Structure 1
Amino acid sequence: MEEYRIGELRHILTMVFLSGFAIFLVRPVMTDVTVAAVCSGINDSCSLAVYLTGVQQVTVGLGTMVMMPVIGSLSDRYGIKALLTLPMCLSILPPAILGYRRDTNFFFAFYITKTLFDMVCRGAVDCLSQAYVAKNVQGKKRIAMFGVLAGVKTISGVFATFSARFLPVASTFQYSMKARFGFKKNDFAELFLLDHIIGSTSQLFILPILVSAIGERWVLSTGLLMEFLNAACLSVAWSAWVPYATTVLVPGAMFVMPSICGIASRQVGSGEQGKVQGCLAGVKSLAGVLAPCIFSPLTALFLSENAPFYFPGFSLLCIAFSLMIGFLLSLLLKDLHSPLVNKAINKTS
């Protein structure tokens, strides 16, 4: 990768860093805030908190499934920078609501507002920044630049999570791990911090080397296999240290999307990068719609006293099986000729 490319993309990288920092700063405390607002007493695993998260994911997924291809296509026509204004502006209000108060009424105001805004905005920054990189970086260097882009966002998670680890919940605002091991804000922050440090290192340094050595498709398969092992280990976690130990498998998750974006972007010209990245984001959103419909009730059931058998991590095991299916399908992945891809993209749009 040529050094001047990094310099030319510094503005988009800065935007990705700052938006990622804002997202990751509040992520470790959201579980505590949600439980405190909707669960009574000291109950750390009430079903309402699980279902609220699932409903939000389904609703947002339906919205972004429709909006991401539209936004990607509009960016090809009116410019990526102009389309980035929408998600950057709308993302300000929801955290400001919780910044004012965190009681039940204000939490639901935050919940509704964020759900509505995320239907339009979630994933837009990632989608448009990937399209921008695809338009400005050509050839085999593109996948490495996708890794840098993802690495910058993950580095923002390092700084944000490090800050959240030492900030009290009141200063920051004013998944089954919590239910099983009693994880609190600091535990989530420490876990996320490890994820982000390992992930950013792998995206910035290991991913480009692997792509050059074994190619994008094998990097994708390797990442899916590591994700399967991670989910399988977490599903049978017997102690609180197991989630920390499985962070060694985090690079797998970090390899998947840059590889997919790189493989897809090489099938179309620079004038259709917004469209193809929007279609990818739309498919990802569709998965975000289907997954909560299946896994949220499953998680709530196996964390309750009415579980058919004792296996608190059963939903994670099901996720591991789905990742294994994805891994097996990636082994069958073949090159697509550009006309076929363009036809599919135009039909989807």
Structure 2
Amino acid sequence: METSRTIARLTVLNHLFVSVFIHNFAIFMVNPAITDVTVSALCPGEDECSLAIYLSGFQQAVVGVGSFLVMPLMGNLSDKYGRKAFLTIPMAFTLMPFGILACGRSRNYFYTYYAFKTITAIFCEGTVHCLSLAYVADNVPSGSRVSAFGILSGIGSASSLCGNLSTRFLSTAVTFQVATAVGIVALVYMIIFLPDSAIDSSLLTPIMSQEKSTDSRDDEGTVDSANKHHSFKKVPSLNDTILFVKTSWVFLQLSMVAFFSTLADVGIHAAMLYFLKARFHFDKDQFADIMVITGIAGTISQLIVMPLVAPILGEARLLSIGLFFNCTHMLLYSIAWAPWVPYAAAMLSVFFVFTQPCLRTIVSKQVSSSEQGKAQGCMSGISSLAHVVSPLAFSPLTALFLSDRAPFYFPGFSIMCAGMVSMIAFIQSLMMRNALRVSDLKVANCRIEA
């Protein structure tokens, strides 16, 4: 009986991994090309374009506000109605902006893309990853989740590698056409082959009512720690997210690590491509090369290295390691003195890809099996808040220090600031490890007394 359940879990997870891989493949195909499209449409013939930086920052801020409100709702509703229905929405609407640029990339087409991308990203940005994490948690015992989350992130890195590599050999026009077609394939595959999380039948019943939940046990027979926390309403609000953060000191530390690490990541992603284009005149092909290196290193690390070292070091220690090297790679980017330095910095993704899988694993272990969508959605909402703050802070810095009006010559100044923010997340992770040890000790003492 147990063997048949294990085989069923592996089967549904394989279908999820394939769906996520194909979907992310389509998304990552367009990433190296979108900077060239934006600059060409807004500032033809120039390598530095402040308007492009400000528009990208404004879009990130709007999407961050929307995602902060929408992501917990999507996660919570997926707890009640199933993951598949709410995976369909972002996988379908993500294709619309790609289709616009597949038709044309002039200024008018770009502004149409910009409007549709801003609207759809509110519901789609990060939703597939968030619900995929909840889907994995539905079907994997808590003791094995760090490896499973690492594999899911490795699938994302592999899709990044393949998508960026394919862009290297395609023209810009064909890139968006192929991405649209691949996205449709991902959607159709998911609808046909991916079952809902029926292995946990409680998913399709109302959860997180205002009444206290009864004790629940995970597949390993251990009592879930969620029963210590407050229950949530069926339809979440901003107060529910605040309540989630305030349930324990561990949750507060997790939220701070998620916020500051995302703040730094959004900051460098918004600045890096524009910095490389202005500093070293990189184009689509060089962007793709760097992303391919990151994808190769990240895939090897998450699919091979992480499953081996996670049981030995633990997800809390791996989280700190990932944040430390994330800070290091940002600082190295900021002082890049030659075109080969960004390629060397990209190799550090072997270590900093540990961050998100470990963070999400710790989150999943703090709640019961019926609250995975809500917990992951609230954490994604907190990360989305960083998408609001980051462009307000880093977009003006990037535009200023890449222009002739900079108070002093330091083109990578905004990236260096992102690295310092990542250092704050690293320090918070060290404090969180102490909180986790205290929490685990209290739970162990309670079990001994019982």
Establish whether TM, by shorter chain, passes 0.5. Answer: yes
Residue 63 of structure 1: CA displacement? 0.7
**2:11 matches 1:7:** yes
Report what 1:270 is aligned to: 369
Looking at structure 1, the residues matched to 118 and 111 of structure 2 have their Cα atoms a distance apart, in angstroms, of: 10
Looking at structure 1, the residues matched to 313 and 386 of structure 2 have their Cα atoms a distance apart, in angstroms, of: 28
Report what 1:178 is aligned to: 277
Residue 252 of structure 1: CA displacement? 3.1
CA offset digits 1:99-120 (Å, max 9, x no partner): 0111000100001001100011
| Structure 2 letter corresponding to 1:202 | S
**2:55 matches 1:52:** yes
Do the aligned residues in 1 keep the contact of 2:47 with 2:277 (CA within 8 Å)?
yes
Report what 1:313 is aligned to: 412
Q: Which residue, 21, 24, 42 being the options, matches 1:20?
A: 24
Pairing 1:36-185 to 2, within 5 Å after superposition? 36-40=40-44, 42-173=45-176, 175=273, 176-185=275-284
Looking at structure 1, the residues matched to 40 and 380 of structure 2 have their Cα atoms a distance apart, in angstroms, of: 32
Partner of 2:85: helix, strand, or coil?
helix
| Structure 1 letter corresponding to 2:48 | S
| Structure 1 letter corresponding to 2:121 | D
Residue 337 of structure 1: CA displacement? 5.5
CA offset digits 1:233-275 (Å, max 9, x no partner): 0000001100001122113331111001000101111100000
Looking at structure 2, the residues matched to 8 and 49 of structure 1 have their Cα atoms a distance apart, in angstroms, of: 42
Report what 2:35 is aligned to: 31
Which has the larger Rg?
Answer: 2
CA offset digits 1:104-145 (Å, max 9, x no partner): 001000010011000111111000000000111013211100
Do the aligned residues in 2 keep the contact of 1:144 with 1:208 (CA within 8 Å)?
yes
Looking at structure 2, the residues matched to 39 and 162 of structure 1 have their Cα atoms a distance apart, in angstroms, of: 27
Do the aligned residues in 2 keep the contact of 1:68 with 1:279 (CA within 8 Å)?
yes
Partner of 1:305: helix, strand, or coil?
coil
CA offset digits 1:307-337 (Å, max 9, x no partner): 0100000001101111111111110112286
Looking at structure 2, the residues matched to 302 and 269 of structure 1 have their Cα atoms a distance apart, in angstroms, of: 47
Do the aligned residues in 1 keep the contact of 2:22 with 2:159 (CA within 8 Å)?
yes
Do the aligned residues in 2 keep the contact of 1:221 with 1:327 (CA within 8 Å)?
yes
Do the aligned residues in 2 keep the contact of 1:267 with 1:337 (CA within 8 Å)?
no
Report what 1:238 is aligned to: 337
Report what 2:291 is aligned to: 192
Report what 1:214 is aligned to: 313
Pairing 1:291-310 to 2, within 5 Å after superposition? 291-310=390-409
TM-score (norm 2): 0.73
Backbone CA RMSD of aligned residues: 1.6
Partner of 1:307: helix, strand, or coil?
coil
Identify which range, 3-12 or 267-276, moves more after superposition: 3-12
Count of aligned pairs between the two proteins: 337
Looking at structure 2, the residues matched to 160 and 121 of structure 1 have their Cα atoms a distance apart, in angstroms, of: 19
Looking at structure 1, the residues matched to 176 and 129 of structure 2 have their Cα atoms a distance apart, in angstroms, of: 25
Residue 205 of structure 1: CA displacement? 1.1
Q: Structure 2 regions of 5+ residues with no counterpart?
A: 178-272, 441-450
| Structure 2 letter corresponding to 1:90 | F
Do the aligned residues in 1 keep the contact of 2:294 with 2:346 (CA within 8 Å)?
yes
**2:383 matches 1:284:** yes
Do the aligned residues in 1 keep the contact of 2:154 with 2:299 (CA within 8 Å)?
yes
| Structure 2 letter corresponding to 1:188 | F
What is the aligned-residue identity percentage?
A: 46
Do the aligned residues in 2 keep the contact of 1:102 with 1:173 (CA within 8 Å)?
no
| Structure 1 letter corresponding to 2:58 | V
| Structure 1 letter corresponding to 2:306 | L
